[in-house]
């Protein structure tokens, strides 16, 4: 690598000697030059300049690079000027030739345009005449094939401009027309025979009439009918599912109403049963209370009667000593009879026996007072009433 240092002045880049040896000239229409040597010299100088390292202050470096730029630019300008001069000298003969050639071409084009115009006029007349013949042949063939009202549209679809060329014979044109008409009628018949909904068939026929592609139209019918069948199946499935749902809901509602009615009927029966039972129980309770009240009233009356007899006997016993006699035995028998009557009238088998007599009696087995006593039978629930009565009237009592 070359290193340049600027101390006092900037050394110019030496390219002048290379330019001094550059030569170029034109002889006999050929370029004579040592441009190859000049190119090699520039390549060497380029490598040298690109590998040069400039040192010093920024201003010094800029000055050295500026000088190198000026030398390279001068070299380029000299080479460009030489190229332009050679090109101009070489192109001068061509410019003269080009001028004469352009004038010649123009005259030829004018002649061609005139001739071509007359030719095209004659050819247009020929094509018009041939188109008329083609149409006549088409109308005949279309009628024969049964194209019908679509004949004009079909003619526009099948018409081939190459038929107008002189190379196309009427025989080949008639064959093409017949083939196209038969294909159309066959495709139309096929589409009309295919099972399809009216709107789908109508659309397929429109497609066929646009491009005469029967296969594409049939594929459209197939796909549309399949899609419609699938949609119909889905709708039927939805309807069936809806019917099943409604039926299930109705059944569930009926079952719920049945259960509700059964529960209400059961509740009504239960309420009626409870009412009847309550009325029966109330009636039984009323009868029971009435019976108890009547029994209690009879018992109270009997007890009053018995108490009166006991009181009378007690008063007699207080006046004279009690002695066994036929009369006393009679009283005891009467009291025993009363006792038996009371026991018979009792409504319960569970009775309480109470011995009644004078207060603080001598109850020894040999005492006459011990034999002067009355045994009273009554219901257990009347015990408190009997006890209170004995206590109030000073009547001795004890449970036996």
- pLDDT tens track for 182-195: 999 999 898 888 88
Average pLDDT over residues 206-229: 90
Last residue within a domain, chosen from 229, 258, 279: 229
Domain shared by 154 and 109, yes or no = no
Is 319 part of a structural domain of the chain? yes
Domain shared by 159 and 223, yes or no = yes
- CA gap 343, 292 in Å, rounded: 16
- CA gap 133, 135 in Å, rounded: 5
Q: In this structure, are strands 53-55 and 3-5 parallel, antiparallel, or unpaired?
A: parallel
Domain shared by 326 and 351, yes or no = yes
Is 264 part of a structural domain of the chain? no
Number of domains in the chain: 3
Is 284 part of a structural domain of the chain? no
Last residue within a domain, chosen from 195, 229, 263: 229
Domain shared by 86 and 137, yes or no = no
> Quick one: pLDDT at residue 315?
82
Average pLDDT over residues 382-399: 74
Q: Cβ(306)–Cβ(299) under 8 Å?
A: no
Percentage above 90 pLDDT, the chain:
33
Domain shared by 89 and 140, yes or no = no
Q: Considering only 17-21, 237-241, 388-392, which range has the smallest mean pLDDT?
A: 17-21
Q: Is the pLDDT of residue 348 over 80?
A: no
Structure tokens at 134: 């083609």
Is 280 part of a structural domain of the chain? no
Is 8 part of a structural domain of the chain? yes
pLDDT: which is higher, 34 or 325: 34
Domain shared by 162 and 108, yes or no = no
Domain shared by 379 and 339, yes or no = yes
User: 382-391, long-range: CB within 8 Å, 24+ apart, which pairs?
Assistant: 382/296, 382/299, 382/303, 383/352, 383/354, 385/300, 385/303, 386/303, 386/354, 389/303, 389/307, 390/356
**What's the distance, CA 21 to chain centroid?**
91
**Tell me: the pLDDT tens digits for 294-336?**
988 988 888 888 888 888 887 876 654 444 444 444 444 554 5
Average pLDDT over residues 242-268: 91
Q: Is the pLDDT of residue 203 over 60?
A: yes
> Quick one: pLDDT at residue 346?
42
Q: Cβ(352)–Cβ(377) under 8 Å?
A: yes
**Tell me: the pLDDT tens digits for 44-87?**
889 989 999 989 999 999 999 999 999 899 989 988 998 898 88
Average pLDDT over residues 143-152: 90
Last residue within a domain, chosen from 183, 205, 229: 229
Beta strands in the chain (DSSP E): 3-5, 24-27, 30-33, 53-55, 352-357, 374-378, 396-399
Is 225 part of a structural domain of the chain? yes
Domain shared by 200 and 109, yes or no = no
Is 358 part of a structural domain of the chain? yes
Q: For residue 11, what are the domain limits?
A: 3-114
Q: Is the pLDDT of residue 363 over 70?
A: no
Q: Cβ(221)–Cβ(194) under 8 Å?
A: yes
Domain shared by 88 and 15, yes or no = yes
Domain shared by 101 and 161, yes or no = no
The model's confidence at residue 377, banded by pLDDT at 50, 70 and 90, is: low
Percentage above 70 pLDDT, the chain:
80
Is 56 part of a structural domain of the chain? yes
**Of 336, 282, 269, residue with least CA distance to 309:** 336
Domain shared by 40 and 81, yes or no = yes
Q: Is the pLDDT of residue 169 over 60?
A: yes
Average pLDDT over residues 85-99: 85
Domain shared by 99 and 135, yes or no = no
pLDDT averaged over every residue in the chain: 81
């Amino acid at each position: 690598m070359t290193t340049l240092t600027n101390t006092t002045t900037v050394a110019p880049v030496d390219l002048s000697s290379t330019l001094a040896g550059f030569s170029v000239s034109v002889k006999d229409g050929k370029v004579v030059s040592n441009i190859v040597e000049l190119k090699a010299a520039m390549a060497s100088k380029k490598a040298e300049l690109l590998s040069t390292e400039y040192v010093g202050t920024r201003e010094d470096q800029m000055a050295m690079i500026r000088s190198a730029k000026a030398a390279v630019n001068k070299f380029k300008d000299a080479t460009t000027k030489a190229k332009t001069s050679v090109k101009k000298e070489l192109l001068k003969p061509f410019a003269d030739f080009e001028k004469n050639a352009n004038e010649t071409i123009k005259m030829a084009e004018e002649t061609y345009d005139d001739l071509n115009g007359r030719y095209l006029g004659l050819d247009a007349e020929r094509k018009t005449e041939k188109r008329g013949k083609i149409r006549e042949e088409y109308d005949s063939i279309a009628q024969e094939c049964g194209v019908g009202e679509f004949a004009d549209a079909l003619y526009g679809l099948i018409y081939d401009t190459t038929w107008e060329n002189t190379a196309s014979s009427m025989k080949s044109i008639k064959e093409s027309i017949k083939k196209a008409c038969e294909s159309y009628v066959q495709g139309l018949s096929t589409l009309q025979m295919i099972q399809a909904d009216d709107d789908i068939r109508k659309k397929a026929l429109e497609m066929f009439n646009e491009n005469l592609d029967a296969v594409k139209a049939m594929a459209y019918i197939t796909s549309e009918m399949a899609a419609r069948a699938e949609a119909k199946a889905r709708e039927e499935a939805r309807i069936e599912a809806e019917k099943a749902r409604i039926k299930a809901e109705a059944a569930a509602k009926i079952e719920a109403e049945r259960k509700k009615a059964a529960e209400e009927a059961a509740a009504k029966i239960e309420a009626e049963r409870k009412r009847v039972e309550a009325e029966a129980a109330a009636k039984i309770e009323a009868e029971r209370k009435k019976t108890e009240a009547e029994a209690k009233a009879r018992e109270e009356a009997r007890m009053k009667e018995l108490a009166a007899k006991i009181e009378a006997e007690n008063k007699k016993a207080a006046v004279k000593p009690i002695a066994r006699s036929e009369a006393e035995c009679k009283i005891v028998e009467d009291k025993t009879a009363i006792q038996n009557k009371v026991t018979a009238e009792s409504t319960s088998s569970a009775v309480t026996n109470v011995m009644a007599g004078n207060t603080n009696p001598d109850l020894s087995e040999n005492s006459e007072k011990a034999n002067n006593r009355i045994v009273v039978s009554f219901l257990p629930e009347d015990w408190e009433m009997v006890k209170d009565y004995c206590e109030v009237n000073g009547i001795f009592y004890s449970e036996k």
